[in-house]
Amino acid sequence: MLPDIEICRATSLTSIEAIANKAGFTASEFHSQGRFKAKISLSCLERLQTQTVGKLILVTAITPTPLGEGKTVTTIGLSQGMAKLGHSVMACIRQPSMGPIFGVKGGAAGGGYSQVAPMEELNLHLTGDIHAVTAAHNLAAAAIDARIYHEQRLGYDDFEQRTAMKALRIDSNNVVWKRVMDHNDRALRMVTVGRNETDKSINGFEREDGFDISAASELMAILALAKNLNDLRQRIGRIVVAYSHHGAPITTEDLQVAGAMAVSMKEAIEPTLMQTLEGVPTLIHAGPFANIAHGNSSIIADDIATRLAEFTVTEGGFGSDMGFEKACNIKAATSGKAPDCAVIVTTLRGLKANSGLYELRPGQPVPDTLFQPDHAALVSGFENLKWHIENVSKYGIPAVVAINRFPQDSQEELEQLAIMIHALPYQVEVALSDGFALGGEGTTELASKVIKQCQKVSTFTPLYQAQQTIEDKINAVAKKGYGAASVTFSDKARRQIHNMQEQGYGKLAVCLAKTPLSISTNAVIKGAPKGFDVPIRELKLCAGAGFIYALCGNVMTMPGLPEKPAFMSLDIDSNGNIIGLN
């Protein structure tokens, strides 16, 4: 098969105007951005308010290898299969981050004949939404340090007199708003800012700080969870960026920077319309990771798509312990719209990797030997798939297992896997998914089974209720969600929980950050671990997003680059075309 970028270039795409018309947007509801992208005006939501809401299908997966198991391929492939069957359908996916693109994983446009096109435009900058999040986030960070600097330089009284503003008396040891960058940049995890060997009046006041990747920004979560521009503005104003010397929370509103942040995100709140290689209208919006953020594309995009199309296919990042859990307990709880069906993507490669019999190093490509038949590994790794099927069934959501075929897979082993799944005592459907090699033609069976499951009455049950204590909610995700035996809160975490409860933030949801490479919090434990502990290192209040963010174990919110990063193969050829992107 051709490389993804060549398949994409060889496909004749439809104009974005025609795609927008097909999706059901009126002429004033979209603004083309070049030939193949359009920004969608939120005015369409007013017009569509009375429309019937279509079915929402959430694609999730087994515990993945570091390269992923093809959730986006399946999401795009499934949408194309549904279209082949004559249904109206849209896909909703996240905007890819430059971190993985230049790091290990490469692009996130799907692959083969199930791609969002043009893939290089999706993978690089798109319509600038992630950059807007980064810019708005770092504006608040600059505002914090500037305020500390001017208040301390002048003294609180002089500051108040001179500016006619109230001094905020920010405790520079208690600033909880890091800076962000959309790159994998290990060296920025812990930094000292405001360094000044000689003179405090020059570079501000020294303090310890750090950078997260933009996908982990609370603003990214807000973009994905906001209902409209006004809700975005209100949520931004609730963000707590620091605490005063008296321990009082200081918000972006206190810094008078919330308005400017919202202004900076005014275009980002509009989803971007693109198309799949087979012309399925696709909305791209927001890009939170599912390990260190809530991992789902936006409520606004789903809201638009489900009012326009019979079926909307979206995805939650990583395995069902990650993005799927957060789709249910954070996204659906906010939007009020639960998924009508879940698709659990599995691969032979991924199951064998879950046997623990192969050495997989985070940040490194997976070994080719994973594609060779290995019955013992398959049987052992199968436990992981069972775990994810059971996990999805906990939420009362009907499911279909999609076996995402890789070109190198053995036919015999694929059939074996299907038999093993059929033999399970769950009401789950199974289908081979060949979207990568065949596009929509390869996913019609999957599409039929998904449509069938969508007819079932959903009995959606989230894992916890808002009124439970913060501790109980974290326990619910760790124990009922992951199957942990225990949860250990650090002293710091206990103190933070106490303060958040005191300050009235007890009713927020919880968002756990952990490795996606294991159901447990330890990346090397494969399969379906039991009896493990979930250590909660520290918490972060995300009052604007509406959740409390809990860091499990040694999870990092800024990835690093490997020895041979993906950027090394990228270039522009003599005709001005991009090469090396996949």
CB nearer to its own copies: give 20 or 330: 20
Considering only residues 394 to 433 of the shown chain, the ones binding its own copies according to CB under 8 A are: none
Rg (C-alpha) for the chain, rounded Å, is 24
Report yes or no: 301 and 62 within 8 Å, Cβ to Cβ.
no
**Residues 392 and 341 sit within 8 Å (Cβ to Cβ):** no
Q: Is 536 in the site for its own copies (CB under 8 A)?
A: no
Interface residue with its own copies among 3, 194, 279, 462 (CB under 8 A) is 194
Instruction: State yes or no: residue 45 binds its own copies (CB under 8 A).
Output: no
Which amino acid does the sequence have at 505?
Answer: Y
Indicate which single residue of 156, 162, 455, 498 sits in contact with its own copies (rule: CB under 8 A): 162
Phi, psi of 39 (to 5 degrees): -90, 140
- 83 vs 255, beta carbon nearer its own copies: 255
Helix (H) or strand (E) holding 200: helix 200-203
169 touching its own copies, by CB under 8 A: no
Nearest to 281 by CA among 571, 576, 19, 548: 19
Residues with Cβ within 8 Å of residue 260, at least 6 apart in sequence: 136, 139
Q: Is 563 annotated as a binding residue?
A: no
Residues in region 357-396 near its own copies by CB under 8 A: none
Q: Could you tell me the CA-to-CA distances from 213 to 125, 224, 288, 416, 534 in Å, in that order?
A: 15, 16, 10, 41, 24
Which of 192, 369, 427, 465: binder of its own copies (CB under 8 A)?
192
CB of 222 closer than 8 Å to CB of 232: yes
Q: Is 369 annotated as a binding residue?
A: no
Nearer to its own copies, 528 or 561 (CB): 561
* β-strand partners of 191: 209
- Per CB under 8 A, 168 contacts its own copies: no
What residues numbered 197-236 form the site for its own copies, per CB under 8 A? 197, 202-205, 207-208, 229-230, 233
Closest-CA residue to 518 (of 509, 510, 528, 508): 528
Contact between 9 and its own copies by CB under 8 A: the answer reads no
Residues constituting the chain: 582
> Binding residue per annotation — 68?
yes
Q: Which is nearer to its own copies, 394 or 537 (CB)?
A: 537
Residue 532 within binding range of its own copies, rule CB under 8 A? no
Quick note: the x/- pattern for its own copies over 115-134, rule CB under 8 A, is ---------xx-xx--xx-x
Residue closer to its own copies, measured from CB, 140 or 280 = 140
Q: Which stretch binds its own copies (CB under 8 A): 48-56, 257-265, 332-340, 431-439?
A: 257-265
Q: Which residue has the tokens 């975005």?
A: 232
Span interacting with its own copies, options 2-10, 154-162, 338-346, 493-501, rule CB under 8 A = 154-162
> By CB under 8 A, is residue 256 in contact with its own copies?
yes
Please report whether residue 138 would count as binding its own copies according to CB under 8 A. Answer: yes
Window 83-112: residues binding its own copies (CB under 8 A): 98, 102
According to the annotation, is 69 in a ligand binding site? yes
Confirm if 16 and 32 have CB atoms less than 8 A apart: yes
- In the complex with its own copies, the residue whose CB is nearer, 206 or 445, is 206
Collect all residues with Cβ–Cβ distance below 8 Å to 300 and sequence separation of at least 6: 42, 45, 226, 227, 228, 269, 271, 285
Considering beta carbons, is residue 341 or 558 the nearer one to its own copies?
Answer: 558
218 marked as part of a ligand binding site: no
The token pair that represents 515 in the structure block: 């490795």
Query: Which pair of tokens denotes residue 310?
Result: 């019979």
**Minimum CB–partner distance for residue 43 and its own copies (Å):** 9
Residue closer to its own copies (CB basis): 32 or 488: 32
> Per the annotation, does 208 bind a ligand?
no
With helix as H, strand as E and coil as C, how does 552-564 read? ECCCCCCCCCCCC
Assess 238 for contact with its own copies (CB under 8 A): no
User: Cα separation of 83 and 440, whole Å?
Assistant: 8
Site pattern 473..502 for its own copies (x: CB under 8 A): ------------------------------
Distance CA 135, CA 112 (A): 34
User: For the purposes of burial, counting CB atoms within 10 Å of the CB of 459, is it exposed (0-12), middle (13-18) or buried (19 or more)?
Assistant: exposed
Q: Min. distance of Cβ 163 from its own copies in angstroms? A: 5
Strand (E) or helix (H) holding 137: helix 129-154
Which residues are documented as binding site for ATP?
A: 65-72
Which residues are documented as binding site?
A: 65-72
